[in-house]
Structure 1
């Protein structure tokens, strides 16, 4: 096999067919004749010595070998773009774009904060940000649609390199006058004794919460379920509902919103990790690597600030 051939036209056409699901759809996207695309895909299969697609009446489906080549191809094209920009002198940290994905919780405050402060250090850096569910953010990294994702995971993710990770326990986010705010730590039973405002079922917090309640036989009263953090926090301002969240998503707003984070004493509510994800095996551009390092340092430093909240007493104990 000629190694150069897998980095050029056949690979690009293969990736488009894999993405679109058919020769005709790839033809429409690339503005190239179906016959030309078919020849290039057949050439690639011949050189690799294996079928990359299963030809079906309604399109083309990747074989196991095709999935491997697709992952390689995405990474190779991104690396080629990085190399080309580097050779042209366009890839300094100060003149780069970083493509990000994150969950809704981080989009409300933390990611805008992170991007703005990073740009103070590197004024020429620009960002694009996609806000989506954790699984979608991970998929976008795997497919090369974004450079990094700040998201949550409860299991290992194929095709993903974890650039930074830390435990991400779930907290009860309540007003300072809420009965739970007096507790140093609350059991799940104590938490569900009050009405709740919760993320929708696609959220990792909700998935862990539903599982934990099922194990303990608890029946929570959920006043509002939503895929929007803004809606949940906004709703909470008018009610006494308990909102469940990770610490990083709201920590900048604790003082302004006069709220506290109460740890939940439930093993199930601690079984997720906050991750900065990148494509496995990809050579990241300098600006992306610099932002990874910035995030890791900032998140780790802010994690140590969690206990620095006003001391709370157990319910029923007298004030000091």
Structure 2
């Protein structure tokens, strides 16, 4: 069994749970302790620090400026304790632990299941949590400690995030097999704009990747559909409702069966989308998290190489 180190004051754990839940009552329920016990520990911390850590609002609790500072310290302490716990387990030959992943939804279709299948076979005692988010929400999930690993396309680099692996995939138009453009090897966005378009909303990285070419193209019509769901865009493209845009990641099965065709964009060269694996900067990774990061990076690299080889052969 994986050990759960309790070498720090319960107040640290109580504070972190209240921060996550924004409610003492809900934190107490998840911790399986009395609300009064949680409140007492929070009051004790506030007395020691000499400043309120939470604002008591009608809608719940919100961190004060002092609370934000203390929360960053608590995050480092708890993540380091998790790392120490996993390293102690590793010394005993164990491969246990828990990994939280925040990922864009396209990765959950085929890439991530392949990694999870292999990791489960190798480390059956590691548990995993997966949350699907838009690319723009993933940095906050990682830096706040809600997720150990972030997987996202085209993230803007910041000092708080460390990129441990990346694959470069061509952005392309996806069309049904009977679409007039389906027989082409590549296509320009301006050519696509002569047909019905399905475009991504601003919370998806695809929107920002297409913005430059969209600005240069005088589209004669408004997009038939705008959506923040890449799954919906792919489904509508498959039904012949228009041309959608994404990488090959997430539509592997449709490409294999021929129900969708992926046409790389060739506007002033290739339009590339970077799929990266991210962790919080300066964090020491627990054994389980490190193993998952390595497996994810290997799978992304494998798929990038496969796409490159397929492009060279076509």
Superposed counterparts of 1:202-217, under 5 Å? 202-210=203-211, 212-217=213-218
Q: What's 1:231 paired with?
A: 232
1:205 positional shift: 0.5
Superposed counterparts of 1:1-320, under 5 Å? 7-16=8-17, 18-19=19-20, 25-26=23-24, 29-30=27-28, 31=35, 32=37, 34=39, 36-43=41-48, 45=49, 61-63=63-65, 66-87=67-88, 94-210=95-211, 212-219=213-220, 221-239=222-240, 241-251=242-252, 253-266=254-267, 270=271, 272-307=273-308, 308=310
The answer for unaligned runs of 5 or more in structure 2 is 1-6, 29-34
Q: How many residues align?
A: 298
Work out the CA distance in 2 between the residues paired with 1:144 and 1:268: 38
The 1:93–1:84 alpha-carbon spacing in structure 2 relative to 1, beyond 3 Å, is closer
1:80 positional shift: 0.8
Q: Which of 109-118 and 66-75 deviates more?
A: 66-75
Q: 1:269-316 CA distances to partner (integer Å, 9 max, x unpaired)?
A: 84753111112222222222122112212211211221415976xxxx
1:189 positional shift: 0.6
Does the 8 A contact of 1:93 with 1:286 survive in 2? no
1:19 positional shift: 4.3
1:68 positional shift: 4.4
Q: What's 2:32 paired with?
A: none
The 1:268–1:70 alpha-carbon spacing in structure 2 relative to 1, beyond 3 Å, is farther
Aligned-partner SS, 1:261: strand
The 1:216–1:235 alpha-carbon spacing in structure 2 relative to 1, beyond 3 Å, is closer
TM-score after normalising by structure 2: 0.78
Work out the CA distance in 2 between the residues paired with 1:123 and 1:20: 30
Aligned-partner SS, 1:247: coil
Q: What's 2:31 paired with?
A: none
Work out the CA distance in 1 between the residues paired with 2:271 and 2:94: 36
Work out the CA distance in 2 between the residues paired with 1:161 and 1:259: 35
Q: 1:200-247 CA distances to partner (integer Å, 9 max, x unpaired)?
A: 332111233345313444355433333333333222222152121122
The 1:128–1:17 alpha-carbon spacing in structure 2 relative to 1, beyond 3 Å, is closer
TM-score after normalising by structure 1: 0.76
Does the 8 A contact of 2:170 with 2:271 survive in 1? yes
The answer for unaligned runs of 5 or more in structure 1 is 1-5, 313-320
CA RMSD across the alignment: 3.5
Work out the CA distance in 2 between the residues paired with 1:223 and 1:91: 59
Does the 8 A contact of 2:169 with 2:304 survive in 1? no
Aligned-partner SS, 1:222: coil
Work out the CA distance in 1 between the residues paired with 2:73 and 2:149: 18
